[in-house]
Every structure is written in structure tokens, then in C-alpha cells.
Amino acid sequence: MAESATTPASAAHPRTDTSVPHSARIGNHWLGGEDNHPVDARAGDAYAAVFPGIVTLARGSRALLRRTVTYLVREAGVRQFLDVGTGPTRR
């Protein structure tokens, strides 16, 4: 059985499976972003039904990150950051 060849471009940009929810896109939904799919919104809403504080927690976590980075840039003089992982980019 021959395996299909994978080009560097296709390996770098694998197809997104929008049939299953993804934690980063669920977080994006909780933050009011647009980079999620209906399946992510449904999963996020179902989670919030069990743990109603999750949306407040997600937004508070993002606010803390924003305040921390602002402090590091303005007060501590940090000029370079490495963002490892996935996460929503919209507020």
C-alpha cells in the first residue's frame, strides 16, 4: 500500500477539522471572538451550563495577561516575548 506524499505546505497547514470542538476555539467563543465554529460554541455553551463561572474566569484570565504584559513593557522594559501555544486573539 503506497502512502500519499505530504508536501511541506500541506504539512504546515493541515486541514482544520470543524466537526469536533477545540479548546482554543472554545476559549475564543467565551471571549467573544470570531475564530470559532458552531461546534465550538455549542461545546462552550454546554460547558458553561455546568460551570457558569467559566466565561468570567476566561475573561479575567485574559485581562490579567493583558495587564501583566502591559506592565512588563511599560515598567520593566521587556521588549521581546515568546508566545507558546494557541489561544484566542480577539478580546
Q: Over range 39-68, report the average pLDDT.
A: 97
2 vs 81, which has greater pLDDT?
A: 81
Is residue 31 in a domain?
yes
Is residue 14 in a domain?
no
User: How many Å apart are CA 16 and CA 10, to the nearest integer?
Assistant: 12
Is residue 83 in a domain?
no
Output the pLDDT for position 1.
47
Domain ranges, residue 31: 20-74
Could you identify the residue written with the cell 458553561?
A: 48
Provide, rounded to the nearest whole percent, the portion of the chain with pLDDT above 90.
70
For 74, the enclosing helix (H) or strand (E) is helix 54-74
Is residue 44 in a domain?
yes
In the predicted structure, residue 77 carries a pLDDT above the cut 50: yes
Q: Over range 61-83, report the average pLDDT.
A: 95
Is residue 41 in a domain?
yes
Is residue 1 in a domain?
no
For 25, the enclosing helix (H) or strand (E) is helix 23-30
Confidence of residue 37 (pLDDT cuts 50, 70, 90): very high
| Number of domains into which the chain is organized | 1
Is residue 85 in a domain?
no
Is residue 11 in a domain?
no
